[in-house]
Every structure is written in structure tokens, then in C-alpha cells.
Structure 1
Amino acid sequence: MKEFFGLLKGGNKPSLLAAIVNSFIGLLKMVAYLLTGNIAMFAEMMHSFGDAANQLFVFIGSALSKKAPTSRFPNGFGRVVNLVCLGAVIIVGILSYEAIKEGIHHLFHPAETTGLAIILSVLGIGVVLELFVFYKAAKEVLHEAGVEGKGLGVFTKSVTHLKQAKPATKLVFMEDFVATSGGVLAMIAVLIAHFTSFVQAEGIASIIIGLMMFYVVGRVFLENARGAIGETDDEMRVHISRIIMKDEHVRDIKMLHVVKEGESLHVDAKIEVDQTISIAEADDIRDRLKLLIYAQKGVSDVLISFDEDNLKTDWQPL
């Protein structure tokens, strides 16, 4: 148990913050829904509770993924975060379905709701809090990408560098973007339904919010399915190949794999060197290259083997 709590300290902080904030928002929306019966509020309530559960699982998964390899699991636990994310999207998928189903029901059986002040107050608080978490997630995206950003530039730059963020951070970013925009959409729908005769607007908003949630489910599922299987990081593969080829004793690269597992990169390379070098010299080359490759962001495991130079170029960078 002590080890478990120790691992939690290394969990993805934006995920934990988002889980806490969304739990609070979900409770507020639940109270507002019970008082008003507003269908757009119901969709937002489901959205917030789904995000909270999802982000809590992701936080725990990101923490467990940092557990050191054991004799039973020598390859480590890097892919745990991907597996947890795959499980978490099931919850969001179910809640998305409920939001869409209730929205469709409201289209065919529209009903006026009361408590406009309560609804707008709760949705407004939710949007402000979601925007705060969204900003924190955007900042974390830039931090993980090694990019600086200030003011509104944080949002625009984070979208550009989202691919470089860790799986857990990407999930929080996408969920809170949808949550913030969904809250604004729900407020607009409530105002339309209140001041016009078009009460179906709330049902339409509920359906759109549910569909946005499904979009996040699809994106997160595909990305983490690739991570769970083990996906080549082409950008880092090219970068590491350049590091290897800069060594004066390396003649060519016979094989180079850079596989992304969870938040970690595993590097496996076979390099060609002059057949006349000694074992001690080859060992020095290995140590020198490992030191450089381990210094690269996200690299957790490096395996380097040697082959004699076949006097022709095999390595073709992407």
C-alpha cells in the first residue's frame, strides 16, 4: 500500500485536478437538474461525471505506469496508462449514449423547464471552472512539448503541439475542450428555449454534447489502442538516427526501432562499425551512444547491438 501511494505522487497532475473539479461541477449540475428537470443540464451532468471518472482512472493509470520492472514483468508497466484509458472511454461512451437518448426523447416530447437563474448560474460556474482546467491542461501540453506560451497563445500553441503530449494530458485536454464548449452550448440552448417557443433547442444541445463526447471516445480509443500495441514514434526515430550517425565510429544503421509504450520510448538499434575495432572500443561506443539517447525526452530503455560494416548504406531515414 505504501508503494501504491508513493506511485500516486508521480501521477499525471492535470488528470487529478480535472477529476476533482469535474466531480464538484457534476454535483452542482445534478442538484440543478433535480430542481429544474432541464434536459441540457442532464446532458452536462452526465458529461461532468463521465469526465471525472475518466480522469480519475487516467490519473491512477499514469501513476501505475511508472512502476519499476519486476522479474514477472521485465518490460515494465508503461502500457498500463493506455489500457486504463481504453477502459475509461467505455464509461464516457455509456454516458454519451444516455445524453443522446435523453436529447432525442426531449425532441419528441418537449417540456418547458423552470429555474432559469439556477440553470445559468450552475452552467456559468461550470464553464469558468472547466476553462481553468482546460488552461492548466494546455499549459501542461506545452510543458511536455518543451514550448513556451503566454496568455491566449497557450491555447493556440497547445493545439499545434498536442501530438507531443503524454496520453493522459491529451485526454484531459480534449475532454475539457469539449466540456467547456458543451457548457457554452447548453447555456445558449437554455436561453433560446426560454425566450422563444423553440423548446426543442435543449434536446438538440443534449444530442450535440453527446456526439462531442463520442468524438473524444473515438480519438482516445484509437490513440491508446496504438499505444497499448506499441507504436513507432517516427519523429523520434529520425532524431535518434541522427544522434547515432554523428558518432565518428558509426558507419551505418542496420536497424532502428523507437517504440512508444504509454509515456515511455524504447529504443532498439543495430549499428554497423568497422570490423577491426576491439570489443573494448565497441563497448565505449555503446556507452557513449546510450548516454546521448537516454538524455532524450521520454526514453526509458536503450538496446544497442553491433554488426560489421557491409560497405553499403542500409539506413534510409524517413
Structure 2
Amino acid sequence: MGSTGGLLKNGNKSALIAAVVNTIIAIVKGAAYLFTGNVAMFAETMHTLGDAANQYFVYIGSALSKKAPTDRYPNGFGRLVNLVLLGAVIIVGIMSYETVKEGYHHILHPTESSGVWISLSVLGVAVILETYVLYKAMKEVLHETNTEGKGLAVIGKSFGALRKASPATKLVFMEDLVATSGGVIAIIGILLSYYGGWHAAEGIASIIIGLMMFYVVGRVFMDNARGALGEADQDLEDKIAEYIFTNPEIKDIKALFAFKEGEEFHIESKLEIDPFISVKEAIVLKNRIESKIHQIRGVTDVIIEFDEDDGIRSWHGHGNK
């Protein structure tokens, strides 16, 4: 874990796969754009280049976030992945702007592109590859959130579980979803231009793709801004509270926080217990609760404090507030 090579082995695998595939796709799309001058192909080239760069950042950031705490940084590097992703969205933002601008210029001055079948062939292959990467990202979402799903069921369940996925996997999922959709939109734009004579369709397709990229920028920025500030996971807090109350010695929960640090969770709690239990029983109880909470995926440390029951109910759960 100490060396850079060791850390990179723990990077987000779906991000690395997506980055490599998108690098290859971007090179092919770029060559096709230079040959055809197709503005929809330009939009897809910029989009794929942004995705590839972003996903390399994601892979490196997710790996470095797992670096062990040091004397200088005793709380670890969990939030590093959020900071890296905040920087990465700048790249997508620039690519989005260029894509929309080029599409707008093409609408104002529409021209007929050449090599239409080259563009369609490249985009067709790209959509197939990006669909494969998207499916891999969907499976990673299910893996991270402990959600069961096989075959086509993976698609629907991944959307439902996406909110609980890690920032890195969430970004890869959203980018690949937009990439796949963008490829289809680019194909439609080219077909309308070539067969319908509506040359502005390529520019409109470029703008739509750019706006979709801007949507990803906004979503990723907000998600990682919350993560960088140390967002509490209320669903996890309720889940932990439910288990805690299965222990009859626990009379109330005075405080319970599940802080998300990148892809890791830090749990802090103050529990009110039966004042008549012995110190030995309290230690056994504390160890039992800690052990159970540590079994939750992503939890790295648990802090539990005990206090005497004051007879006043404090915990009502987030759903009842």
C-alpha cells in the first residue's frame, strides 16, 4: 500500500477500463473527423477525449484516496477522490463548451460533410464499445452497493442503486451513459443531414451532446462538493441505528454520524445504556456493536461512547423527523 504501484492496484477498475477503451475510441473518432469534417463527429471526439482524461483522473484519485493515514494527515486521504473529481469536471466543462460552440457555428453556417459511411461505421462501433463499458459500470454499481442482479436486470437495478455508489463509479456510469446516448444522437444527426438534406441536424446533435455533458458536470460537481465537505449518509445511519436497537442494553441513541470520506465511512456514536449493567458487560456490548458495524462495506473506523440513560428519547430516525 505504501508504494505508488501498490496504491494504483486498488484504483477503481471500471474507471481504468473505461479510460483505456475511450482513449482508443477518441483516436479513431479524431481520425474520422479529420477525414470527413463532420461536426457531429467532432462533438463525439471532444466528448470521448474528455471522458478518457476524466476517467484516468478518477482511477488515480480513487487509488490515492486509499493511502494509509500519516502523522501529518491522521484522518487519511479518503476525500482526495472528491477533490480530484472536482478538478476533473473542469476538463469536461471545457469540452462541453467547445462542443456546443462548434454545433452553434454549424447551425449558422451548415455545410455538407464527406465520408458519411466512415462516420457512421466509426460511431456504430463506438456505441457498441461504450455500451459494453456502461454495462461493466452498471455491474460495478451493483457490486459496490451489494445489490443482486443478472442479465438485463442489471440495467434497471443499477439506476436504482446509483445514488449509493462511490463517487468514482458514479462518474464513470454517468459519463458512459451520456457517451452511449451521444453516439446514437450523432448517428441520427448524420442520417438526417445525409438523407434528409438537413445539414443543420449535425450542429443540433453537437449542441445536444454538449448540453448532456454539461449535465454530467453539474451532477458530478454537486456530488463531490458534498463529499469534500464530509457529507453524512442518513440511510446508513438509520441502518446502523436499527441494528443498535436490537441490543436490549441500549436504551437510546444520543448521537450517530456516518461520515463519508471518499469511498470510506467513519462512524461516530454516543449511546445511552442501562445504568445497571456492569463495566465488563458494557465492554462486551461495545465490542459486539463495533464488530457488527465493521462488517458493513466501506466502514473503516467506529467510535462508540456510552452514557447513562436519561429517560428522554433522543433518536427518532431520519425518516420520522
* Residues 264-318 of structure 1 deviation map (CA, whole Å, 9 limit, x = unaligned): 1111000112334443332222111100110112211111111111122221112
Q: CA deviation at 1:236?
A: 0.6
List per-residue Cα deviations over 1:144-198 (Å, max 9, x = no partner): 1212222222111111111121111111111001000100110111011011221
1:232 alignment partner, SS class: coil
- 2:294–2:301 CA contact under 8 A, matched in 1: yes
Aligned counterparts of 1:104 and 1:216: Cα–Cα separation in 2: 20
Q: Tell me the TM-score normalized by structure 2.
A: 0.96
Match of residue 33 from structure 2: 33
In 2, the alpha carbon distance for the partners of 1:24 and 1:191 equals 24
Q: Indicate the residue corresponding to 1:122 in structure 2.
A: 122
Give the Cα–Cα distance (whole angstroms) in 2 for the partners of residues 279 and 73 of structure 1.
Answer: 34
1:97 is displaced (CA, Å) by 0.2
Q: C-alpha separation between the residues in 2 aligned to 1:259 and 1:290? A: 16
Give, in angstroms, the shift of residue 248 of structure 1: 2.2
Distance 1:148 1:231 in 2: 26
Q: How does 1:43-62 map to 2 (within 5 A)?
A: 43-62=43-62
Tell me what 1:105 maps to.
105
Unaligned segments of structure 1, at least 5 residues: none
User: Partner residue of 1:270?
Assistant: 270
TM-aligned CA deviation for residue 259 of structure 1? 1.3
Task: Tell me whether 1:238 sits opposite 2:241 in the alignment.
Answer: no
Alignment of 1:165-244 (within 5 A): 165-244=165-244
Deviates more, 1:216-225 or 1:145-154: 145-154
Partner Cα distance (1:113, 1:276) in 2: 83
Contact in 1 for aligned 2:190/2:201 (Cα 8 Å): yes
Q: Percent identity?
A: 59
Deviation, structure 1 residue 19: 0.3
Aligned to 2:75: 75
Contact 2:97 2:210 in 1 (8 A): yes
Shift of 1:34: 0.5
Deviates more, 1:15-24 or 1:141-150: 141-150
Which SS does the other structure have where 1:301 is aligned?
A: strand
TM-score (norm 1): 0.97
CA distance in 2, matches of 1:182, 1:119: 14
Deviates more, 1:187-196 or 1:139-148: 139-148
1:66 corresponds to 2:36: no
Where does the alignment leave 5 or more consecutive residues of structure 2 unmatched? none
Q: Name 2:138's counterpart in structure 1.
A: 138
Deviations 1:243-263 (A, max 9, x none): 111112212111111111211
Distance 1:283 1:69 in 2: 27
| 1:2 positional shift | 6.7
Amino acid across the alignment from 1:260:
K
CA contact (8 A) 2:65 2:262 kept: yes
SS at match of 1:155: helix
Q: Distance in 2 between matches of 1:154 and 1:275?
A: 49
C-alpha distance in structure 1 between counterparts of 2:237 and 2:106, whole Å: 52
**In the alignment, structure 1 residue 312 sits paired with structure 2 residue 284:** no
Match of 1:148?
148
Once residues 153 and 249 of structure 1 are traced to their aligned partners in structure 2, the CA distance between those partners, rounded to angstroms, is 42
**Would the aligned equivalents of 2:2 and 2:67 in 1 still touch at CA under 8 Å?**
no
